[in-house]
Amino acid sequence: MVKGKDMYDVLAATVRLYVAIFLAYGSVRWWKIFTPDQCSGINPFVAVFAVPLLGFCFISTNNIYAMNYHFIAADSLQKVVILGALFIWHAFTKNGSLEWLITLFSLSTLPKTLVVGIPLLRAMYGDFSGKLMIQIVVMQSVVCYTLMLIMFEYRGAKLLITEQFPETAASITCFRIESDVSLNGREPLQADAEIGYDGKLHVVVRRSTSASVISSYNKGLHSPAITPRASNLTGVEIYSVQSS
């Protein structure tokens, strides 16, 4: 039977989280305490510092030699089953897309374990359940998040090939991405292509320098002349830059 103290423990563990979320939403949407520019500065801080440090705080308390392998196996099995079902849906249905596959897999298998799951389970079942959830967080950080990154990079590579080589993508035999490039769609990239000795297309993806060149041109620095010339690749323009 659920007692009043049990309800209080659950509410004490969850209400404070949602109150903070509500205040953050209202401070931007209604009360205009924070501007969009300030939010764009807060978001990287949360993503780069706050969440990783919170995850480290929980993960550092886990003993890898005393993990419940039956529980981890059950959690891993349900993730594999859902991922397999989503891949089948993506392969055999017209409505299936890689974007929806990533979204549905994230929603169905990667809950907010750190922020909501651990406090909620500790309030409902005791400290031992919180330790089980920390073990799930460890496996998600090692396996699931890595898998998600691979899927996002694969999606970014497909979009880049589709945009840059709409008619010649099938003839690409080598596709090399420089180490400082991320296919997240937020930074300008350029794809340099050439026909190799084997007669096939070889592509190298690097950070685009055209944005900085055009910016310098607009400011009158070094007075560079940007001359586009024809390319034998569909959808690709090659620029020759001359500066005095």
Q: What is the pLDDT of residues 196-213, one digit of tens each?
A: 666 666 677 777 665 444
| pLDDT: which is higher, 118 or 239 | 118
For residue 230, the Cα-to-chain-centroid distance in whole angstroms is 36
Q: Quick count: other Cβ atoms within 10 Å of Cβ 211?
A: 12
| pLDDT on residue 241 | 42
| pLDDT on residue 165 | 65
DSSP per residue over 19-64, as a string? HHHHHHHHHHHTS--S-HHHHHHHHHHIIIIIHHHHHHHHHTT--G
Average pLDDT of the chain to the nearest whole number: 75
Specify which residues 194 forms β-bridges with: 202
Per-residue pLDDT reduced to its tens digit, 4-31: 888 888 888 888 888 988 998 898 889 9
> What is the average per-residue pLDDT within 142-166?
81
**Banded model confidence at residue 85, pLDDT cuts 50, 70, 90:** very high
> What is the average per-residue pLDDT within 211-218?
41
| pLDDT on residue 201 | 66
Query: What whole-number distance in Å separates Cα of residue 26 and Cα of residue 78?
Result: 37
Paired sense of beta strands 201-207 and 172-177, if any: parallel
| Nearest alpha carbon to residue 185 among 165, 205, 213 | 205
| pLDDT: which is higher, 78 or 3 | 78
Does 219 have pLDDT greater than 50?
A: no
Does 54 have pLDDT greater than 80?
A: yes
Share of the chain above pLDDT 70, in %: 68
> What is the average per-residue pLDDT within 39-58?
86
Does 168 have pLDDT greater than 70?
A: no
> What is the average per-residue pLDDT within 52-56?
86
> What is the average per-residue pLDDT within 154-162?
78
> What is the average per-residue pLDDT within 53-59?
85
